[in-house]
Amino acid sequence: MKIPKISIIILNYNAGDLLEKCISSIVKSNYENIEIILVDNASQDHSHIKCKEKFSQIKLIENKENLGYCEGNNIGIKSANGEYIIILNPDTEVESNWIEEFIKEFNNHGDGLYQPKLLTVSDKSRINSAGNMMNIFGFGFSSGKGKKDSKKFGNFKPINYASGACLFTSKKILDKIGLFDPYLFAYHDDLELGWRALQLGIKSFYVPTVIVYHAESFSFKWSSKKFYLLERNRWYCILTHYSKSTFYKILPGLIIVEIIMILYFLSKGMLKEKIQVLKDLIKDRKLIKKRYNELEKRKIISDKKIIEEFSNFIEVPSEVSNSSSSKLFNKIINFLGNITKKII
């Protein structure tokens, strides 16, 4: 019996030794019929060259400039020959049985986007993501992040979107959903893809039997640029994925959230970034309108149905905010989310 080919796409940008560790773990996989596609976004550290020399079987695609997470991965997907696709970050390490477990759950539960249990590389008993969730106001988060791994993170479950650090699906499903949205460049890319999938009735799932270790954000970490991209892309998703009627219904809550976000950016000395978000969204309004129209034409699941699955709260990383302010923010978000869901 012929086993299906798996295309593993790794997007690299100055990942250094992490990239070699990632590929080393992949070649130790039990599954044999794989192709490894390494897409390099104009790295200066020559990590991609070193890996090509060490692992001659990989297919190397070298971009002349940094095209970002979305377009870089899209290039890899377009060149893939596998029946199944895995998007994998270069700062990850996998276990030997990871592919078999993904395929088993895919066969059991059908078309969808699948993510593993992500544990941290620095402490392999700590959760990096036990399934990604999103909030009605466009915030995405990794559930369980920073917590000790335990039995409560051991159940297969539907989630709002699969983490872009390791995402498994079929080529057929990606052909139906479409590729990553290149406007985003980086961050919220997996959320946008998962949200778009939900609009077509395609769900995402958390597979705890697949274990992947994630070093996370080695190149960007928490910076003003990351905050800018997260906030700009959050608003882009809101403006393109909600129908106009839904948008106006959630607008009162959005305004309150926006005031909180402005105060937060001000407290971090990043008000300039928040203002830039507004400027760029206005500048790109024609592109946003075009994207909105495209998604509205394709949508077969209502906003109301999708929103019912969204989380009422968000888990704020400790690097972003201290616990007391996070609790207050969560209370406000929970309150506004509950009220807004009733209106819709």
What is the pLDDT at residue 276?
96
What is the pLDDT at residue 209?
98
**Residue pLDDT, tens place only, 238-278:** 999 999 999 999 999 999 999 998 988 888 889 999 999 99
User: Which of 162, 191, 214 is the C-terminal boundary of a domain?
Assistant: 214
* Pairing between β-strand 132-134 and β-strand 6-12 as defined by DSSP bridges: unpaired
What is the pLDDT at residue 313?
77
**Residue pLDDT, tens place only, 120-177:** 999 999 999 999 999 999 999 999 999 999 999 999 999 999 999 999 999 999 999 9
Q: Which residues of 290-300 are buried (b: 16+ CB within 10 A; e: fewer)?
A: ebbeebeeebe
CATH of the domain at 58: 3.90.550.10
Residues 209, 272: one domain? no
Residues 210, 228: one domain? no
Residues 74, 117: one domain? yes
pLDDT band (50, 70, 90) for residue 342? confident
181 φ, ψ (degrees, to nearest 5): -80, 110
Residues 72, 178: one domain? yes
**Residue pLDDT, tens place only, 83-131:** 999 999 999 999 999 999 999 999 999 999 999 999 999 999 999 999 9
What is the pLDDT at residue 2?
83
**Residue pLDDT, tens place only, 294-338:** 999 999 999 999 999 999 878 776 655 566 776 787 788 888 988
User: Which of 214, 245, 269 is the C-terminal boundary of a domain?
Assistant: 214
User: Which of 181, 214, 247 is the C-terminal boundary of a domain?
Assistant: 214
**Residue pLDDT, tens place only, 179-218:** 999 999 999 999 999 999 999 999 999 999 999 999 975 5
| Rounded Cα distance, 111 and 168, in Å | 11
Residues 201, 228: one domain? no
Mean pLDDT for the chain overall: 94
What is the pLDDT at residue 322?
62
Position 99 in a domain? yes
Residue 317 contacts residue 145 (beta carbons within 8 Å): yes
pTM of the full structure: 0.95
Question: In Å, how far from its chain's centre is CA 257?
Answer: 22
Residues 229, 200: one domain? no
Position 182 in a domain? yes
Position 93 in a domain? yes
Total count of domains within the chain: 2
Helix (H, G, I), strand (E, B) or coil at 273: helix
Residues 21, 169: one domain? yes
Position 18 in a domain? yes
169 φ, ψ (degrees, to nearest 5): -160, -175
Residues 180, 210: one domain? yes
Non-local CB neighbours of 207 within 8 Å, separated by 6+ positions: 101, 102, 105, 114, 115, 116, 117, 156, 168
Helix (H, G, I), strand (E, B) or coil at 165: coil
**Residue in the structure block whose two tokens are 């070193």:** 50
Asked whether residue 76 carries a pLDDT value surpassing 70, the answer given is yes
93 φ, ψ (degrees, to nearest 5): -135, 140
Position 331 in a domain? yes
Position 219 in a domain? no
Residues 199, 233: one domain? no
Residue 14 contacts residue 47 (beta carbons within 8 Å): yes
Residues 10, 116: one domain? yes
Nearest residue to 134 via CA among 339, 311, 296, 6: 311
Position 1 in a domain? no
Residue 5 contacts residue 86 (beta carbons within 8 Å): no
Average pLDDT score over residue span 38-47: 97
Question: In Å, how far from its chain's centre is CA 177?
Answer: 15
What is the pLDDT at residue 268?
83
Containing domain of residue 269, as a range? 224-343
pLDDT band (50, 70, 90) for residue 222? low
Residues 140, 195: one domain? yes
Residues 202, 88: one domain? yes
Residue 128 contacts residue 211 (beta carbons within 8 Å): no
